[in-house]
Amino acid sequence: MAQISQRIRHITGGGSDGWDLYNRARELAAQGVPVVELTIGEHDIKTDPVILDAMREAAGRGQTGYAAIPGISALRAAVAERTERMTGVRTGPQNVIVTPGGQSALFAAHQLVGDPGDRALYVEPYYATYPGTIRGAGLVPVCVTARAEAGFEPTEVDLMAAAPGAKSLLVNSPNNPTGVIYGEETLRGIQRVAEEHDLWLVSDEVYDSQVWEGRHLSPRALSGMEARTLVVGSMSKSHAMTGSRLGWVIAPEEVVEMLWDLSTVTNYGIPGYIQKAGVFALGLGPDYEARIAEPFRRRREITQRLLAGQQVVRAAPQGGAMYTMLDVRGTGLSGDDFAWKLLEEERIAVMPGGSFGQATTGHVRVAMTVEDGAYEAALQRLLAFAARLAMAPA
Ligand code: PMP
C-alpha cells in the first residue's frame, strides 16, 4: 500500500472516547438487553411526514439532477430570512452557502480561516468532532478551557492568552455538551479577543432553536463582528432532519464565493429534492421550530425539578440545547467510571464527560432524547444510583 497522509492518520486525536460506551450500549441493546440510551443528540421523533412528502414530490418532479452548488436560490433566501429574523442582522441569499450538514459547514469554515500549520482555537467542553475537524482542515487545534466554576463560559483572560498567532476561534452557544448559553459579557469578551488578534470567529449556532432561558445572542450581531464571523447553522436539530444533511455557513459575500469554490471541489452541492424539502420545512416558520424543541423544554423542566435540592449530583446552568451536564464528583467517581458503572448496573447509557475535554472529567452528559416518562424514570434511577455510591464506604 502506498503511504497514507499524516493529516488523515491524525484526524482523531487517538485514545478512547465516549464512543466505546456508546458502542457497548448498542451491543447490549442488540442482544435484547433493555438499555435507556441518553447518549447522542438524536431526536426521539423522525422527520415529519409532511417534510418527507415535500421531498418525495420534489424528487418526483425531477429535482434529481445536479443542484446549484451554493444552494438553490429559494433555500438560500429562506435561510437568510430565518437568520435575519432571529438575529436582526441584515442577511441576503449572497451571505448563505448551503452545505451537507453543520459538520461540513464547520469543516468548510476551517478550510477558509487558515493555512496548514496555523493555529485554530476551540473551547472545551467541546462537541466531539471539533479538534478532528480542525486537524482535517490542516490546522493545529488549540484548546481553551471553559471551567465548571465559570459556568462553562470561556473567560476573556484565557482566550487572550491563547490567541497570539492564532487565526480563528470556534465557539458554540447554545452549547453541546453543557447546554450553557453564553451571556452578553462573554460574547463581548470574545469580540475583544477576535478584534485584538484579528481572528475569524466561527460561531456554531446549530442549537439556536433550543433556548430555554434568557436569549441566544449571535456574535455576528455585535457591532463590527459581521465581517469576521462565520456562522454555522443546520436543520438537523431545529427541524429533526439529522439524516437530510442540510446545513449552511452565513458569511460575508466574498467568503461565500470562496466557499463555493470549495464546494465545487468537494461535495458539488447537495441533492435538489432535499433542498426543496428544506425550503418547505423553513416555510413552516418559527412556531414549527418551537414545536420540535418543545419535548426538550419539558424534559429540561423535569431535570430541574428532580435536581433541585440534590446534594450529590449537580446540573450545569442549562439555558438551552438537548443535553444536561451533570457533575457527579460527589459520588467519588470520575465521570468515566460513573458512566460505565451506570451502564453495567442500571442499564442507562450516558456520555462520560471526559469525552468532551478535561473540564468535564467529573461529569456525565445526559441527552434528553427519550420520551418524558422514560426520561424522568431514568433520571430518578441515576440520582438514586449516585446517592448509593456517595453513601458507600470508599
Ligand atoms: N455542532 C454541534 C455543536 C453539534 O452538536 C452537531 C451535531 N450533533 C453539529 C454541529 C453537526 O450537526 P449536523 O452536521 O447534523 O448539522
Residue with cell 484579528: 198
What contacts 263, CB < 8 A, 6 or more positions away? 69, 70, 97, 99, 108, 269
Per-residue pLDDT band for 151 (boundaries 50, 70, 90) equals very high
Overall average pLDDT of the 129-141 stretch: 96
* Confidence check: pLDDT of 114 > 80: yes
**How high is the pLDDT of residue 12?**
84
Per-residue pLDDT band for 79 (boundaries 50, 70, 90) equals very high
Q: Ligand 1 test: best mutation among 19, 22, 42, 127, most atoms within 8 Å of CB?
A: 127
83 neighbors 216 (Cβ within 8 angstroms): no
CB distance 355 to ligand 1 below 6 Å: no
**What is the C-alpha separation between 394 and 390, in angstroms, rounded?**
9
CB distance 234 to ligand 1 below 6 Å: yes
* Confidence check: pLDDT of 144 > 80: yes
**How high is the pLDDT of residue 345?**
97
Comparing 7-16, 91-100, 156-165, 361-370, which segment has the lowest mean pLDDT? Answer: 7-16
Q: Ligand 1 test: best mutation among 110, 206, 325, most atoms within 8 Å of CB?
A: 206
**What is the C-alpha separation between 146 and 178, in angstroms, rounded?**
10
- Amino acid, single-letter form, for residue 360: T
Task: Tell me how far the alpha carbon of residue 311 lies from the centroid of ligand 1, in angstroms.
Answer: 33
**How high is the pLDDT of residue 15?**
59
Task: Tell me how far the alpha carbon of residue 2 lies from the centroid of ligand 1, in angstroms.
Answer: 33
Per-residue pLDDT band for 155 (boundaries 50, 70, 90) equals very high
Task: Write the CA distances from 79 to 175, 226, 228, 311, 344, integer angstroms.
Answer: 21, 16, 19, 44, 44
CB distance 177 to ligand 1 below 6 Å: no
**Nearest atom within ligand 1 for CA of residue 172:** 3
**What is the C-alpha separation between 225 and 231, in angstroms, rounded?**
11
Overall average pLDDT of the 298-320 stretch: 94
CB distance 102 to ligand 1 below 6 Å: yes
CB distance 122 to ligand 1 below 6 Å: no
pLDDT tens-digit readout, 341-381: 999 999 999 999 999 999 999 999 999 999 999 999 999 99
* Confidence check: pLDDT of 330 > 70: yes
Task: Tell me how far the alpha carbon of residue 133 lies from the centroid of ligand 1, in angstroms.
Answer: 12
CB distance 353 to ligand 1 below 6 Å: no
Task: Tell me how far the alpha carbon of residue 103 lies from the centroid of ligand 1, in angstroms.
Answer: 6
**Nearest atom within ligand 1 for CA of residue 100:** 14
* Confidence check: pLDDT of 324 > 80: yes
**How high is the pLDDT of residue 338?**
98
Per-residue pLDDT band for 41 (boundaries 50, 70, 90) equals confident
Overall average pLDDT of the 97-120 stretch: 98
Q: Name the residue with the closest Cα to ligand 1, atom 12.
A: 102
Percent of the chain whose pLDDT exceeds 70: 99
Task: Tell me how far the alpha carbon of residue 310 lies from the centroid of ligand 1, in angstroms.
Answer: 31
CB distance 111 to ligand 1 below 6 Å: no
Q: Ligand 1 test: best mutation among 236, 238, 246, most atoms within 8 Å of CB?
A: 236
Q: Ligand 1 test: best mutation among 234, 242, 248, most atoms within 8 Å of CB?
A: 234
**How high is the pLDDT of residue 13?**
78
* Confidence check: pLDDT of 329 > 70: yes
Task: Tell me how far the alpha carbon of residue 58 lies from the centroid of ligand 1, in angstroms.
Answer: 26
Q: Report the mean per-residue pLDDT for the chain.
A: 96
Strand-pair partners of 122: 143, 170
**Nearest atom within ligand 1 for CA of residue 127:** 3
* Confidence check: pLDDT of 52 > 90: yes
**What is the C-alpha separation between 298 and 130, in angstroms, rounded?**
29
**How high is the pLDDT of residue 317?**
86
pLDDT tens-digit readout, 221-250: 999 999 999 999 999 999 999 999 999 999
Overall average pLDDT of the 38-64 stretch: 96
**How high is the pLDDT of residue 19?**
82
Per-residue pLDDT band for 394 (boundaries 50, 70, 90) equals low
Task: Tell me how far the alpha carbon of residue 330 lies from the centroid of ligand 1, in angstroms.
Answer: 31
Task: Tell me how far the alpha carbon of residue 377 lies from the centroid of ligand 1, in angstroms.
Answer: 27
**How high is the pLDDT of residue 309?**
87
**How high is the pLDDT of residue 322?**
96
Predicted TM-score (pTM) of the model is 0.97
Task: Tell me how far the alpha carbon of residue 3 lies from the centroid of ligand 1, in angstroms.
Answer: 32
Buried b (16+ CB within 10 A) or exposed e, 220-242: bbbeebbebbbbbbbbbbbbbbb
15 or 292, higher pLDDT? 292
CB distance 175 to ligand 1 below 6 Å: no
Domains, in order of start, for the chain: 6-46+287-389 (3.90.1150.10), 50-284 (3.40.640.10)
**How high is the pLDDT of residue 17?**
66
